[in-house]
Amino acid sequence: MKDLFSLSGKTIAVIGAGSGIGQAVAIGVARQGGHVICLDLNAAGAAATAASIAEAGGSAQADAVDITNATSVRDALANSLHKRSTLDGLVCTPAVNVRKPILSYSVEEFDRVINMNLRGNFIVLQVAGQLMSAQRHGSIVLFSSIRSLVTEPGQSVYSMTKAGIVQLVRTAATEWGEKGVRVNAVGPGVIETPLTAPIKAQPAWYQAYADKTPMKRWAQAEEMAGPTIFLLSDAASYVTGTILFADGGWLANDGRFQPPGM
């Protein structure tokens, strides 16, 4: 059964590989035997991740990419694949968040979040879908969030984009299923990454999020590698058009009061 989760012989592009969840996923893919194309807007970060993979005996290369620019995405994948026969999988993790009440949001801030989280993911999905549809196989994994289902004050635009990613995934799965292309999303809960560093800097806020999770802790970025690798692997050969929540039970926990004697 362990071979079902192997990525040996597969070429997987990981966008966001320079840090956080993307870096953890890239390292995880390499440990499962995959050749990793490490892509990031931060070219130095992507290169550092690829170098660490190579030092550990894995196979990786790196390049820069701007997911909000279609030409950049096409060029990055084309340049990376010129010595590879196919693109077997692609993961896209980058996102941005501006935490503000709706009445305080500026149009410029709205555009910034939409441009990265929705437009960027759409571009990546479209370019990868074109390549994989032509070769008639592949697995695409986008990153959504628990915020696709539940939200809180200050999360309006971010939550909207994460819900939008789920619908992109579902639609792509219906359009490309007959071509052998699977499309899914991972829905993290609270993860310690550069994006959530401002929360960690405020102990009360950080602890409140930990307490909301039945496991009473935040996740580490490395804990998102397993769910992602599952969706990339043959173990998920009949899984498409869905979101896999890796949230420590956040969405299952309705309420903060624990009855006496429990």
Alpha carbon distances (Å) from 236 to 5, 240, 246: 9, 8, 16
Q: Is residue 222 part of a domain?
A: yes
* Residues 224-261: tens digit of each pLDDT: 999 999 999 999 999 999 999 999 999 999 866 666 66
209 is catalytic: no
Q: Is residue 261 part of a domain?
A: no
Q: What confidence score (pLDDT) does residue 261 get? A: 67
* Residues 89-125: tens digit of each pLDDT: 999 999 999 999 999 999 999 999 999 999 999 999 9
Per DSSP, 220 falls in state E
Domain that holds residue 40: 2-246
- In angstroms, rounded to a whole number, what is the distance separating the alpha carbons of residues 210 and 217? 4
Q: Is residue 257 part of a domain?
A: no
Q: Which tokens is 186 given?
A: 């991972």
Amino acid identity for residue 217 in this structure: R
Q: What confidence score (pLDDT) does residue 259 get? A: 64
Find, among 61, 59, 1, 4, the residue nearest to 33 by Cα: 59
Stronger pLDDT, 193 or 112, i.e. the higher one = 112
* Residues 6-15: tens digit of each pLDDT: 999 999 999 9
158 is catalytic: yes
Q: How many domains does the chain have?
A: 1
Alpha carbon distances (Å) from 168 to 8, 118, 144, 203: 28, 9, 10, 35
Contact 140, 129 (CB under 8 A): yes
Q: Tell me, what CATH number does 171's domain have?
A: 3.40.50.720
Q: Is residue 173 part of a domain?
A: yes
Q: Is residue 259 part of a domain?
A: no
Q: What confidence score (pLDDT) does residue 195 get? A: 78
Q: What is the mean pLDDT of residues 17-26?
A: 97
Candidate list 139, 148, 162, 233, residue with the active-site label? 162
* Residues 139-190: tens digit of each pLDDT: 999 999 999 999 999 999 999 999 999 999 999 999 999 999 999 999 999 9
Q: What confidence score (pLDDT) does residue 89 get? A: 98
Candidate list 145, 148, 159, 233, residue with the active-site label? 145
Q: Count of residues for the chain? A: 262
Question: What's the Rg (C-alpha) of the chain?
Answer: 18
- In angstroms, rounded to a whole number, what is the distance separating the alpha carbons of residues 143 and 112? 18
Stronger pLDDT, 85 or 130, i.e. the higher one = 130
Q: What confidence score (pLDDT) does residue 262 get? A: 59
Candidate list 72, 158, 159, 233, residue with the active-site label? 158
Band (82; pLDDT cuts 50, 70, 90)? confident
Q: Is residue 255 part of a domain?
A: no
Q: Is residue 61 part of a domain?
A: yes
* Residues 33-73: tens digit of each pLDDT: 999 999 999 999 999 999 999 999 999 999 999 999 999 99
162 is catalytic: yes
Q: In degrees to the nearest 10, what's the CA dihedral of 19, 58, 145, 174?
A: 140
pTM over the 0.85 mark:
yes
Q: Is residue 153 part of a domain?
A: yes
Q: Which residues lie across from 138 on neighbouring strands?
A: 181
Q: Which tokens is 124 given?
A: 């990546």
Taking the chain, what is the end-to-end CA distance rounded to the nearest angstrom? Answer: 39
